[in-house]
Amino acid sequence: MAEVLGVSIATVSRALRDSHEVGKEMRQKVQDLAKKLNYRPNPFAQSLRQNKPKVIAVVLPNLVTHYYSAVLDGIEDYAQKEGYAVVAANSHEDHLREMRAIDNFIGMYVEGIIACLAQDTTDYSHFEEIHDMGIPLVFFARTCLPHLFSSVVSNGDEAARNATLHLLDNGSRRIAFLGGPNHLDMVKRRKHGYLEALRERGISIDRSIVVNGTIDYRQARQAAIDLLQRKDRPDAILAFNDILTFAAFDAIKSLHLHIPEDVALVGFSEGESSAFVTPRLTVVQDRAYETGVKVCELLLKSIGGDKRIYKEVLPMTMEIRESSIKTDVDNHTAAHLGIDVGQ
C-alpha cells in the first residue's frame, strides 16, 4: 500500500491505527485502499507491538568490510547482555534501501534504531520523521542532524592530521588525499585534519590532488591511477577508508611503482589484512567493536527515557609499518622521531 500511495510504511501504519499524526484525507485514502485490497494486519507485527519485545534494529552501509562487522559484533554483545535481540539490514550504500529498511523496522515495532548513513544519503527527512514519531535512534561514524540525535564518532580530524604529519616526517612531501563523498561529515573531518597538517608545515595545498569520490573500489583505483600518472604525481597517498586504501595499494602496484620509495601509503583501515600484504601497511584504526558497544549503550539509554543528546568521540590509533617510511629515513632518524616501524 505504501508504494501505491507514495508514502512511507510508517505513515500507512499510523493511518491504519487512525492516528491523528496523519491527515484526515490521507487516513481515509489508506483505509479505503486497505478495504479494497482486503488488507489484514500482520498478526506477528501486532503481537510485537502489544508485547513490546526487546528488539533493536541496525542499518549499516555494508557488511563486507571488517569495520562494520566489528561494530555489529559490539552492538550484539552489549544488546544480548541487556536482554535485547538485534535485527540488521544492509543498505548497500543506497539511500533508497536505507529508507526501506527503516520503514520496515518501524513496521516491526522495534524499540530503537542504530544507523550509519549510506554514502549517497543527503535527504534526512526519514530520520526527522523517526524523531517526530518518538522512536529512539543513535548514529555512528556517518551522522546527521546532531541537534536531534546522539552519535558515536572517531577523532578522524586529529587522526588524519597525525597521519599526514607522520608522512611528512618520514620523507614524503606531496601528499594526496583519496576520500569519499564530501557531504559526509566523516569525510569532512578527515580531510580537515589532512589540510591542517599541510598548513601547519607551510606546505601549499594543491586541490587537484585532493580527491572526493565514491566509496567504490574500482572508481577509487582509477582515481589513484589518474593521480599517479600525472607528471607531478604525489609521492604519498592518505586514503579515507579500507576500501580506498586497498584500491590505492592496487593502483600503485599496477603501475609498477614501489611502496614507499615511489609512493608512500597510509590508510584508514580496520582488521589485520593490512599486516599481510607486502609491504605491510601503516594504518589508522577505528575502535570498531568499542564503537558498537558505545552506540548500543546510548540507544538503550534513550529507550530508557534519557532525553539528552550525546556525542561520544573515540580516539583512533595509528599502527606504523613499512608503507609510510621512505628509505632515505634511516633507522637512527626513525628512532629519533620515536617511530615504531613494526619490526
Amino acid 297: pLDDT? 98
pLDDT at 10: 61
| CATH placement of domain 156-287+318-336 | 3.40.50.2300
How wide is the angle at C-alpha 63 spanned by C-alphas 61 and 64, nearest 5°?
115
CB atoms closer than 10 angstroms to residue 20? 9
pLDDT, position 44: 40
Q: What separation in angstroms does the CA of 90 have from each of 65, 66, 75, 137? A: 12, 14, 15, 17
Distances (CA, A) of 292 to 72, 90, 114, 229, 319: 6, 16, 9, 40, 21
- CATH 3.40.50.2300 intervals, the chain: 43-154+289-315, 156-287+318-336
For residue 162, the tally of other CB atoms under 10 A from its CB is 18
pTM over 0.75, yes/no: yes
Residue of 83, 95, 109 whose CA lies nearest to 59: 95
Query: Which residues in the chain land under pLDDT 50?
Result: 42-48, 329-343
Between β-strands 264-268 and 236-239, what pairing exists: parallel, antiparallel or unpaired?
parallel
Q: What is the pLDDT of residue 125?
A: 92
The DSSP bridge partners found for residue 318 are: 284
- Does domain 43-154+289-315 correspond to CATH entry 1.20.1050.10? no
Residue that is written with C-alpha cell 583512533 in the block: 316
CA distance 206 to 315: 28
pLDDT of residue 24: 72
